[in-house]
Structure 1
């Protein structure tokens, strides 16, 4: 029985991170500028009229949402682009014939994408400290949600990268589905502020539970209970793992 191919995993992981290092300045400068603009627009324009939400200053309230917004898009983009490029260039056949298992392949690509996503998330967290005073009441749960959400959306991005047949399709789900769901999922407001009917509809948005759990880890307050948030996050994580297992088992869009 073949053992764990640590060298193969490390080779793919290092290659993917090298691609990130080539655009390191742009990759880190962009979230700094974007975060600053969000604070200028949302923090100043809206925050001057809505000073607090649930006892939390509005500027601080939006920080978890800002981090999640960037991590969703970064995770999906990095993971989908990472696996799509071998498909596009034809080197996917070399990868599939190499002495590296499906688990090791996913671990390397998703691990590298999650690393890049979490670096961006930490940069946003540091940048936010220059604008507002942050408190993290439950640092363990902050780290848990941080790592789990980044990994989950990288798995989701990996699925998109295999599904996509063109560079245009890589952008369809992030731009037309994930981005709107994030803005409608309480990233910049509490869903308790919505009318009862709209709040009920919003609870069908899975992004609500991810953002709520992450915000709870900062301030001890969320739109839904932290137990439900963690269960929803773990459920999404498990679903993505199941889909990837099926993809490698059937060879869906890997060998065609």
Structure 2
């Protein structure tokens, strides 16, 4: 294992985040804080509790997942796309580093940035609404698995995209809508039977449900199913990335 290669890519990507601190860290935290102010404070004060949890506290896991998902995809996709755009990807591919080590560097950095943002958002949320974490270990597990899974997904998008427009296409048209419709601001049990059944086809539902269970001990779907869906998505992304490096898809062309 070439740890020097992993460390070099990881440090470079993390350094890029801290060089653009306002854009990478401060901006998403402020944006999410506004959600807490508007929905948790203004709207939540007029809404009944959901499963015994105040509305302000109920949306904390969903908003945290919303930020982690979108930032994981954005960080990882741009991280691998820019070397392709600048032409430095060939230097990376010709370096004494395996595909696994390259992916570890880029995905590890993207996931680390997303996890950092998620933790900061949780700390910030505590300033607006009181909440407790019933299962801290599983909260951390879901947070890490989600960040890694969607960083892998973002890596795939960064390889697939052949322009900055396509780089934003999937996150804006697919990931963000699925997150908003995945129970970020509501419980899917509040939906009519037909729409609830239809919503279960949304994979983000299982991520948010499992993460919310780690906070309050209640979930829209079983926590075992949520964990299985998260791991299944991670393995699917790993399989696609393995195929990309074996075939050289959009990397060597």
Give me the TM-score of the superposition, normalised by structure 2.
0.98
Shift of 1:23: 1.1
Check the 8 A contact 1:35/1:127 in 2, yes or no: no
Answer yes or no: is 1:109 the counterpart of 2:121: no
Out of 39, 63, 66, the position equivalent to 2:63 is 66
Aligned to 2:74: 77
SS of 1:133's equivalent in the other structure is coil
Shift of 1:199: 0.2
RMSD: 0.9
Misfit runs of 4+, over 2 Å: 25-28
State the distance in 2 between where 1:90 and 1:31 align.
30
Aligned to 1:52: 49
Shift of 1:162: 0.1
User: Any unmatched runs of 5+ in structure 2?
Assistant: none
Check the 8 A contact 2:68/2:147 in 1, yes or no: yes
Most deviating of 76-85 and 18-27: 18-27
Aligned to 2:9: 12
Shift of 1:39: 1.5
Shift of 1:134: 1.5
State the distance in 2 between where 1:73 and 1:229 align.
19
Answer yes or no: is 1:87 the counterpart of 2:84: yes
Shift of 1:127: 0.4
Shift of 1:109: 0.3
SS of 2:45's equivalent in the other structure is coil
Aligned to 1:235: 232
State the distance in 2 between where 1:78 and 1:139 align.
26
State the distance in 2 between where 1:19 and 1:97 align.
23
SS of 2:252's equivalent in the other structure is coil
Give me the TM-score of the superposition, normalised by structure 1.
0.97
User: Any unmatched runs of 5+ in structure 1?
Assistant: none
Check the 8 A contact 2:40/2:129 in 1, yes or no: no
Answer yes or no: is 1:152 the counterpart of 2:165: no
State the distance in 2 between where 1:211 and 1:55 align.
18
Answer yes or no: is 1:192 the counterpart of 2:177: no
Out of 119, 125, 128, the position equivalent to 2:125 is 128
Shift of 1:113: 0.5
Check the 8 A contact 1:185/1:207 in 2, yes or no: yes
State the distance in 1 between where 2:125 and 2:45 align.
17
Aligned to 1:29: 26
Answer yes or no: is 1:164 the counterpart of 2:161: yes
Alignment coverage as a number of residue pairs: 253
Q: Deviations over 1:12-68 (max 9, x none)?
A: 111111101101233222133212210222123321331311100100000000110
Aligned to 1:139: 136
